[in-house]
Structure 1
Amino acid sequence: MMADSIQEILKEDTSFDGFAKTQLPMVVTNPNLEDNPIVYVNHAFTQQTGYARSSVIGRNCRFLQGEGSDKLAVDRLRDGISRRESVSVDILNYRANGEPFMNRLLVAPLADEGGHLTYFVGIQKELKSGQMGAAAEEIDAQLVEIQDRVETDMSIIISMIRQQSNSTSLPEEYEALTRRIETLQLLYEEMKLSDVQSNRDIIHLASYLSRLCCAIGHAYGRSGIRLNLQIDPVDVPIETASRVGLVASELLANAYQHAFDRIETGLIEVRMSQLSAGGLRLTVSDDGLGIPSFMRWPDTGSVGGRMISGLIEGLEGTLQLSRGAAGSFIAIDVPAGASLAE
């Protein structure tokens, strides 16, 4: 269950409209690319700073600094990043229109299971007048708590991506990373709702998957490709929901991107049902080109393939791929012990 302090800092709830409507500004940078550029920002960041995503992706975060930014704070931030350590600073930043604002910023390194530095994640909160001293210390503790949640969930992704290839292009990395992070951020939205309604550490999986699939359909879909959902209501632990959501995200995005190449119309179906033995079955099918019979799938040589395999292993699940006359049918079975909430 999320702590009360997190509920407090995120208490200004907003309706969900697409991906990443979480209230807390977040930025992710890749130190393995030249000048540690931004590869992801959420909606709250664009609202706080006034910068569009397209104008910040690929840039170093220093563009937020200006004439009034304290040199000692800048040096402390730069030193923490160079040492690959977590660092917290209060720094004067500037919005796109030139308006200054005092920003409480926490930056933390994210490493894969081999200890390789993969990303930095920055969580920030604007400090209003009167939020200094003890009040600022309370905000700092709240940000640390939220950052821990983000780091834990990001580790699910990072442990499967491992070290990114040096040849990875920024646009491709941004698109895939954005979808994966925002899959988790949508889970945070569902976590807040679950906490308010039931005060239990569970997720209403049907609600989460329905919103996730519709958001991916909106982002990747095109005219002529229909999406059909049939998802049974079931409650699962948060850890299970995060893994099932990431699997669904990978499978559905893959279908949109590859199943209908040079095909004008088609159908994608996502189903999730509770098995008679108590587990879950997630299926994603399409009537498109289908996965070629000579192709090994999931391909563990790719980031997406490693993620799918690792996530299913973490769920103690099994995968079955069927190739029909038209399209592909993928079924993921998750046993009862790893799936259902008590």
Structure 2
Amino acid sequence: MKSDPVISSDASRAAEALAALLRVAVDASPVCITISDLRRDDAPLIFVNDQFCRTTGHTREQVIGRNCRFLQGEGTDRSVVARMREAIARREPVSIELISYKRTGEPFLNRLDLAPVRDSRLEIDAYVGVQRDITAFRAAEATRREREKMEALGRLASGFSHELNNLLQPIITYSGMLAARPEMAEAEYAEQINAIVDCASAARDITAQVLHFARSGVALSEAEPLSRRPGEAIRMASRLLPPGVSLSIEGVEDLSAACAIDTAELLQVLGNVFRNAADAMDGKGSVRLAAVMEDTTLVLSVSDTGPGVPPELWSRIFEPFFSTKPPGQGTGLGLATAWGIVRGWGGTLTVRNREGGGAEFIIHIPLDRRSTDWGTNNNGAHSSDR
């Protein structure tokens, strides 16, 4: 039976129209679409759509005939690439996320979905790839998680402050009464009682600061000569170090500038950094606190003789609730709170590893600030300069 030429012609025109529509649709797609030919050596690209060119900055002429590894760079995770290659070798679909690079060298987080396309009748053996730049999406996701953490911290801090203040009040009252008795002035344990008064009072101030930080308000501090502040804060912070850790101090006695911070805030920052150093050294070693003036900035550095901070933790060390300690041995709030307080001063808190070993926390504090905005860490973060 002969086919009707009119029907054949109509079917052919419909197929051509559909093929044209598909080409237009693929180029109009908001995601990158590529096709690699596995029948040829090195599986070169034989098709890329317009969105791929817009996202990567490459033209079709620059990429057709090349393997898509030109998108990789120094930040690309080789283990992820190996997983992709293994899936392709087995002709299996695979979904991965990896750092890719645009023609300008700018990195972006690439969500890549690959699927095999095989048809023995048409002699097709290819892979179709769908790629999306999810850098902004992941950043927004991280910001949302950070906001949720800070909201949870605010709720925790509110209840924590209330309960702790109830316990601190009798400690402060009764130890103050003991310290005020005339016979206590000459008692051999007078210094210990005064330490109880000082530390309990500082703890009360710190609970207020934690609550203030968690609620992201506005910190207002009255500038005073800085030389009046460090001695008291350092003295109380040093009491947080275990007996096996020695503390050396350099340059603090020479300070005479004005800076809008108070003793409770400085104590909280130094205390948290000191405790972190002591924990890193397992309670045995030395801590060095140094202060220098650089133009209109006070630079405080706290270094230890511990093992330093592993590179994989550099980007997370100041995150709220992040801790490497076993459950029950750390809240993950110490360095995050210190970071937030320093940022509230308009300064920065960073960390790096020392060449001779150990970690060094560096605090930059701008001088003569009367008010500063409190904020939360929105990643990139807290940042590490290592």
- Normalised TM-score (structure 1): 0.32
Q: RCO higher in 1 or 2 (8 Å CA, sep ≥ 6)?
A: 1
The structure with the largest alpha-carbon Rg is: 2
